[in-house]
Chains A and B, each alone.
Chain A
Amino acid sequence: DVKVTQSSRYLVKRTGEKVFLECVQDMDHENMFWYRQDPGLGLRLIYFSYDVKMKEKGDIPEGYSVSREKKERFSLILESASTNQTSMYLCASSFLRDTQYFGPGTRLTVL
């Protein structure tokens, strides 16, 4: 079974803090994704990576950056957290055009 794990299920940070969200997949997938999920807005793509050190912006990249130094790991970075970044963050991975496998999500609260 494909497994996508995220470093934390719940996270509370303060405004202005630098926040790292980690995602690891164990299936040697090429593609990895970061989404945020908000009530009434569904899932919105933040960033996407199709290979090590490669990234592409999604629909809402502002305020976020990503890092992919190893194939299995994709990190989402909030350089200076703000209250409007309080959300559920979901990581996913896939092989080429194949289906995406999602992690359990990290619920981030920024105070």
Chain B
Amino acid sequence: LAKTTQPISMDSYEGQEVNITCSHNNIATNDYITWYQQFPSQGPRFIIQGYKTKVTNEVASLFIPADRKSSTLSLPRVSLSDTAVYYCLVGDILTGGGNKLTFGTGTQLKVEL
């Protein structure tokens, strides 16, 4: 089971870049790393997924070092609407079933003016 560790909270200001790191020291070979965003009273929403190196989409970038024991979600130029809880998920559905899916405890990002 890949245990994940994230900072409990982070503060930022509008227009800044925010980097949230997730540690997953015992990640398995087949595990993927996925990040989700959650607003109050809503279910989590997919942001980005990667296996190794760097992945970028229209919302964020995901940096994964060669040893894959951590990952960093990068949000460019955050706005007030990015205030949310961010979760990293490590695991692989196809091997070992759902038991291998482990969410972190989440990072509360607060963006101010």
> Chain A interface (Cβ within 8 Å of chain B)?
4, 31, 33, 35, 40-45, 47-48, 50, 56-59, 90, 92, 94, 96-97, 99-105
Contact = CB atoms under 8 A, between A and B. Distances in A.
Interface string B67-101: 00000000000000000000101001110011101
A44 B41 contact: no
A42 B36 CA distance: 12
A43 B35 CA distance: 13
Interface of B: 1, 32, 34, 36, 41-46, 49, 87, 89, 92-94, 97-99, 101-106
Give chain A's interface secondary structure class. Answer: strand
A31 B89 CA distance: 16
CB-CB nearest 3 A-B residue pairs: A48-B98, A102-B43, A42-B105
Nearest to B106: A42
B93 A43 contact: no
Given A90-B43, A90-B44, A103-B43, A45 B101 contact: yes
Contact of B42 (A96, A97, A100, A105): A105
A105 B97 CA distance: 23
B36 to A, nearest CB: 8
B41 A56 contact: no
Contact of A99 (B41, B49, B87, B105): B49
